[in-house]
């Protein structure tokens, strides 16, 4: 049997240290600063990829045929784990067989939601090289998410090195072919055993991996949305711009309600103005032609309510590189659902699509709003508009190494 992960220095902590206990009420009311803590004590250790230990599995799993892969259901042989304590900092990383975690029932992740995560992918190019897509962006965002919930930050470059080692070890799980990849899920949880509310005195960063196929196995499939105003995904001053597990669970019930009415996802609206924010768990883009003929690609601004999507940034960068010269205006600005509905009525709404790691680009056929269907520019026989198709091709070329680019990180041999 595989031994369980038992981060003893984390899970055997019976109570916060006196330093954490005396300052809990103060620290809970302001952002937690690792630097400030380090200045008052000895410097804390950062993650050091050179100290990793590797325990290979003795029971390798069978590979599923590519056509049987279901997103997030199958996992590789190994995982990465790195413990953190408030007194020492980051301990030596470990790559071990994939296994259950052993956590105390009082661990703060269960009671107060000390948890954040990332979604990223590894790809195989046509020469067999393994590539990660813009991993530094994921590490930057994870550090922002971690800091927002009083959890420790880390050296993202060191974690990328460790992820590369993990991916290389489980290379056989990366399916080949366009649209296939290895989905990576870095996760950080607070592990301190306490019911007191305050910054965790211990944490665990781990990475698990799942082979996945194309989000749309039979090709692009345009989805229908329900404009949702009775529930709110995020609000100003909240944590909608951070990738926290707490942002996701509350969205499931409205999604189930929308599904009962025949819609695949929610289009989240905000405020009496009905500002368009996100679509499901993706960023939203809309293409509009104004009455003067000007074409504009619009996505909501990063005002604290919108997740800083890696794919969102990729679409914006590519649009500015490739579409501006064709006369397009590229905007990060607020737009309301009434504006979108009016543009659709006047046949000026050219296209709409979601952008995210899982699907890359998700075309939108229509949006249910105030009892009517707002068409999003697609003809009945079309499943994707020309912009969605272009962005899927442009991003895919860099993900799979068809186009050499700095966004594509080649895993060392």
Q: How much is the pLDDT for 170?
A: 98
How confident is the model over 272-283, as a mean pLDDT?
A: 97
User: CA 173 to CA 77: how far, in whole Å?
Assistant: 9
Beta strands in 165-294 (DSSP E): 181-190, 202-212, 223-228, 265-270, 275-279, 282-289
Residues 6+ away with beta carbon under 8 Å from 411: 122, 129, 130, 131, 132, 164, 167, 168
Instruction: Provide mean pLDDT across the span 377-399.
Output: 96
> Beta partners for 355?
283, 361
For residue 217, CA distances in Å to 68, 259, 287 come to 11, 21, 26
Which CATH number is associated with domain 8-212?
3.30.470.10
pLDDT of res. 18:
31
Mean pLDDT of 225-254: 96
The helix/strand count (H/E) of the chain reads as: 10, 19
Domain ranges of the chain: 8-212, 223-399
pLDDT of 3 above 70: no
CA atoms within 13 A on the CB side of 75: 13
Cβ–Cβ < 8 Å for 169, 184 = no
For residue 391, the model assigns a pLDDT of 98
Angle at CA 319, nearest 5°, toward 314 and 324?
155
Residue 26 banded pLDDT, cuts 50, 70, 90: very low
What are 45-62's pLDDT values in tens digits? Answer: 999 999 999 999 999 999
Interatomic CA distance for residues 395 and 387, integer angstroms: 12
Q: From the CB of residue 102, how many other CB atoms can be counted at a distance below 10 Å?
A: 13
What is the pLDDT averaged over residues 15-25?
31
Contacts of 358 (CB under 8 A, 6+ apart): 71, 119, 183, 215
244 pLDDT more than 80: yes
pLDDT digits (tens, 9 = 90+) for 133-172: 999 999 999 999 999 999 999 999 999 999 999 999 999 9
Using an 8 Å Cβ cutoff, are 288 and 341 in contact? Answer: no
Chain segment 322-344, per-residue pLDDT in tens:
999 999 999 999 999 999 999 99
Can you give the pLDDT at residue 216? 76
CA 255 vs CA 160, 179, 227, 285, 369: distances in Å: 34, 26, 11, 20, 15
Q: Is 166 exposed, middle or buried (0-12, 13-18, 19+ CB in 10 A)?
A: buried
Are 335 and 303 within 8 A, CB to CB?
no
The distance from CA 170 to its chain's CA centroid, rounded to whole angstroms, is 22
pTM, rounded to two decimals: 0.89
Q: Tell me the pLDDT tens digit for each residue of 102-143.
A: 999 999 999 999 999 999 999 999 999 999 999 999 999 999
The reported pLDDT for the residue numbered 218 is: 67
Check whether domain 223-399 has CATH 3.20.10.10, yes or no: yes
**Residue 54: which of 93, 6, 4 has the closest Cα?**
93
First to last CA, the chain: 31
DSSP per-residue letters across 200-233:
-SEEEEEEEEEEE--SSTTS---EEEEEE-SS-S
3-state SS class at 256: helix
């Amino acid at each position: 049997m595989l031994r369980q992960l038992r981060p003893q220095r984390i899970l055997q902590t019976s109570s916060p240290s006196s330093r954490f206990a005396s300052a809990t009420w103060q620290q809970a009311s302001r952002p937690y600063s690792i630097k400030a803590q380090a200045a008052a004590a000895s410097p804390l250790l950062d993650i050091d990829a050179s100290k990793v230990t590797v325990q290979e599995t003795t029971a390798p799993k069978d590979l599923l045929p590519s056509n049987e892969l279901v997103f997030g259901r199958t996992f590789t042989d190994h995982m990465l784990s790195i413990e953190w304590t408030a007194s020492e900092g980051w301990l030596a990383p470990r790559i071990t067989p994939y296994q259950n975690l052993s956590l105390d029932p009082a661990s703060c992740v269960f009671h107060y939601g000390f948890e954040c995560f990332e979604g990223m992918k590894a790809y195989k190019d046509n020469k067999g090289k393994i590539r990660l897509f813009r991993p530094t962006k994921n590490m930057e965002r994870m550090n922002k998410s971690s800091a927002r919930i009083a959890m420790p930050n880390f050296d993202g470059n060191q974690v990328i090195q460790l992820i590369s080692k993990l991916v290389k070890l489980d290379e056989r799980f990366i399916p080949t072919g366009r649209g296939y990849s290895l989905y990576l899920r870095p996760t950080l949880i607070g592990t301190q055993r306490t019911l007191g509310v305050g910054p965790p005195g211990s944490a665990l960063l781990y990475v698990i991996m799942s082979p996945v196929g194309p989000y749309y196995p039979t090709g692009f499939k345009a989805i229908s949305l329900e404009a949702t105003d009775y529930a709110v995904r995020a609000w100003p001053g909240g944590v909608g711009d951070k990738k926290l597990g707490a942002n996701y669970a509350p969205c499931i019930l409205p999604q189930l309600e929308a599904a009962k009415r025949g819609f695949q996802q929610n289009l989240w609206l905000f405020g009496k103005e009905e500002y368009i924010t996100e679509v499901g768990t993706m960023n939203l883009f809309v293409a509009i032609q104004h009455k003067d003929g000007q074409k504009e690609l619009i996505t909501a601004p990063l005002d604290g309510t919108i997740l800083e999507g890696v794919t969102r940034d990729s679409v914006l960068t590519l649009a500015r590189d490739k579409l501006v010269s064709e006369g397009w205006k590229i905007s990060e600005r607020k737009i309301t659902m009434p504006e979108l509905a009016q543009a659709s009525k006047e046949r000026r709404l050219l296209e709409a699509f979601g952008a995210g790691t899982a699907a890359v680009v998700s075309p939108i056929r229509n949006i249910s709003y105030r009892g009517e269907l707002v068409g999003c520019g697609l003809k009945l026989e079309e499943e994707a508009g020309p912009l969605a198709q272009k962005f899927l091709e442009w991003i895919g070329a860099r993900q799979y190494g068809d186009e050499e680019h700095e966004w594509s990180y080649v895993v060392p041999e």
